[in-house]
Amino acid sequence: MKEKLLGNPIGRIAFFLRDKFHLIHTAYFHPERVGKEANDQLANILITRICQSNKTFIDIGAHIGSILSEVLYIDPSIKIVAIEPIPAKVDSLKRRFPSIEIHNCALGNFSGQIPFFVNIKESGYSSLSKVASSQVGEIIEISVPIKKLDDLLSSNDVDVIKIDVEGAELNVLRGAIRILQKNRPTIMFESVLQVDNDFGGTKEELYDFFNSNNYVIMIPNRLAHDDPGLSKEGFLEGHLYPRRTTNYFAIPRERRIEIRDRGRNILNISIN
C-alpha cells in the first residue's frame, strides 16, 4: 500500500496525516518520546529539501523509495542515485522510477560477495547483520554484491547523502572517503542503540570518523540554528532512552553556515 501511495498527491496527504497522528499519539501516550518523534519527522523534511538544484542526491538503503520519491517531487532537476541490496526492491524501484540510477548491491569498505539477511515481515530491518535483521519476523539469507561507493560513483556534484543501513553506516563511510573529501556533501545517517556485529563499528568510532574528516554532527532540530554540533559525549548520550532522534546530520565544518541558512529557508525561520 505504501508503495502505491508514493509519488502522488493523495499519497503525500495520507503520509502527512499519518505523521501528524503519530506525533499526537506519541505526545499523549509516550510524552517522553515526543522529542524523538518530532526530530525524526523534521529529519525527513530537511533531507528531502536540502539538496541543491541540479546536484546529486545519493540514497543508500532506498527501500521502497519514500525519500527519493519526495526529493524527486520537490525538485525534479536533482539527479538521484539509489543503492538497495534486495533484488525485489530494486525491481520495484526500477519500474516506478525509470529516470533514477539504481544499483543492486550493499555498500561497505571492500568489494566482493557477502551474506545479506532479509527480514520477510519487516524488510526495513534487513541487514548485513543477522542480529540486526532479526528484530521482527522470519529471516532469509541471500548473497549480494558489496561495493565501495568510491568505486561505484565518480560524481563531482554530490551534495547530499542519506544512509539507512541498519548499523553498517561506518563501513559505508569508510568506502566513500574520496567522495566525502572531493564533494563535501551533507549526510543524514541513522544511528540507534549499539548492535553487536562486524559491520557497524562503535558509536565512538562513528563520531571519530566524522570528526577526523572535519564534519560536525547535528540533531535535526538544531540544524537551522546557531549550534556548533554535538560533542562526543552529547552524541553518545543521545542514544540513551528516550533517544533524542533516530537520524543525525553530519555537515562539513566549512559549510555549517551555508547549511544552517538553507535549513532556515526550508523551515521558514526568520532570525531578527
Average pLDDT, the chain: 91
7 dihedral zone (left: phi>0; alpha: psi -120 to 50; beta): left
Residue 196 has pLDDT above 80, yes or no: no
pLDDT at site 2 = 64
Of the ranges 87-96, 118-127, 130-139, the best mean pLDDT one: 87-96
pLDDT tens across 102-122, in order?
999 999 999 999 999 998 888
pLDDT at site 249 = 98
Whole-angstrom distance, CA of residue 215 vs CA of residue 226:
16
pLDDT at site 4 = 62
Can you give the residue ranges of every domain in the chain?
Answer: 2-267
Closest CA to 164 of 64, 251, 90, 70: 64
Fold of 2-267: Rossmann fold (3.40.50)
pLDDT tens across 204-243, in order?
999 999 999 999 999 999 999 999 999 999 999 999 999 9
In angstroms, what CA-CA distances link 198 with 8, 107, 130, 169, 170? Answer: 40, 14, 11, 12, 11
pLDDT class for 193, splitting at 50, 70, 90?
Answer: confident
